[in-house]
Amino acid sequence: MDRLDSLRIFVAVAEQAGFAAAARRLGLSPPAVTRAVAALEARLGARLLHRTTRIVRPTEAGQRFLADARRILAELEEAEASAAGAQTDPRGPLAITAPVLFGRLHVAPIVFAFRRAHPQVTVRLLLLDRVVDLIEEGQDVALRIARLPDSGLSAIRVGGLRHLVVASPAYLARRGRPRSPEQIAAHDTIVFAREGLTREWVFGPERRPVRPQAGLAVNTAEVAVAAAVEGLGLTSVLSYQAAAELAAGRLEVVLADFQPPEIPVHLVHPEGRRASARLRAFLDFAVPRLRAEPVLGGQPG
């Protein structure tokens, strides 16, 4: 049995969560499937599957190997189709990650439309508020809201966001508008606090930090915005997080003359890896749509 057959068998076992179900799918005997996976694990020197009497599931190493195995098999299928001169639609697995709120509001709708346009591409969308290691965690492309370090990733800029300090009209009528960052100390504030640490607010081109005294500490932007709408104080958010409330007049921007520089937004993918047809198709699909998003500074078409 060659290595590609071993990959196909391992993928089938992982997807079917069992040896017998994988054997039925592949038209093989259960002992042949079991032997193939055991030989693969022995060759790699790693346990790829947790086996119980009820279910089989990938180990941590198995999850990483599964992502790579799926990618290899899909790229082989693409290469064979290309060599045969076939004009096929992009197909195979594509893993995408983005921050939770931005992903829900602006990435997920693009992914839904992409799936409708390319039904042969199976997409896994992972929304997390942390930096995902694309290689270690088997991701093909990520949306990043940050100034990018030199990370060996290819990056396509799709726009930018700003830090804004906002408050409700009722709060500002009651307490007045701060005219400088120093006046924040006299105001009620709603701040982000994670693991006991309060996030600083930054101002001006030099990104001067100010640490407000929290009247209310929360751990999500959605709650901070909701509290500001209720008139509980000033809060600092990224522009997209308060876009709907600003447009509706439920919030107003204060200290606009002290805004820090724009934060770039990129789609990034591993550099040096030949981009698959499905990744190229997604980038071609997503980049112009993201660049047209008003929250990223674009003009909708």
Contact between residue 180 and residue 258 where contact means Cβ atoms under 8 Å apart = yes
pLDDT at 297: 86
Q: State how far the Cα of 163 lies from the Cα of 101, in Å rounded to an integer.
A: 15
What is 92-154+263-295's CATH superfamily? Periplasmic binding protein-like II (3.40.190.10)
Among the CATH numbers 3.30.43.10, 3.40.190.10, 2.40.128.20, 2.120.10.30, which is that of 163-258?
Answer: 3.40.190.10
Report the amino acid identity of residue 236.
Answer: S
The tens-digit pLDDT sequence of the chain (301 residues) is: 588 888 889 988 988 888 988 888 888 898 999 999 999 899 999 999 988 877 888 888 888 888 888 878 877 877 776 666 555 678 888 999 999 999 999 999 999 999 999 999 999 999 998 888 887 777 889 999 988 876 667 899 999 999 999 999 999 999 999 999 999 999 999 998 765 566 789 899 888 888 888 889 998 999 999 999 999 999 999 999 999 999 999 999 999 999 999 999 999 988 645 677 889 899 999 999 999 999 998 665 5
pLDDT at 189: 96
Q: Domain 3-83's class?
A: mainly alpha
The predicted structure's pLDDT at residue 142: 94
Both tokens of residue 269? Answer: 């993918």
Ranges for all domains in the chain classified under CATH 3.40.190.10: 92-154+263-295, 163-258
pLDDT at residue 86 in the model: 56
Letter for the amino acid at 53? T
Give the Å distances, CA to CA, from 203 to 154, 178, 219, 242, 258: 30, 13, 21, 18, 5
Query: Angle at which helices 108-117 and 277-291 pack, to 10 degrees?
Result: 130
pLDDT attached to residue 292: 95
Q: In whole angstroms, what is the distance from residue 281 CA to residue 278 CA? A: 5
Contact 206, 232 (CB under 8 A): no
Q: Could you tell me where in the chain the CATH 1.10.10.10 domains are found?
A: 3-83
pLDDT at 134: 80
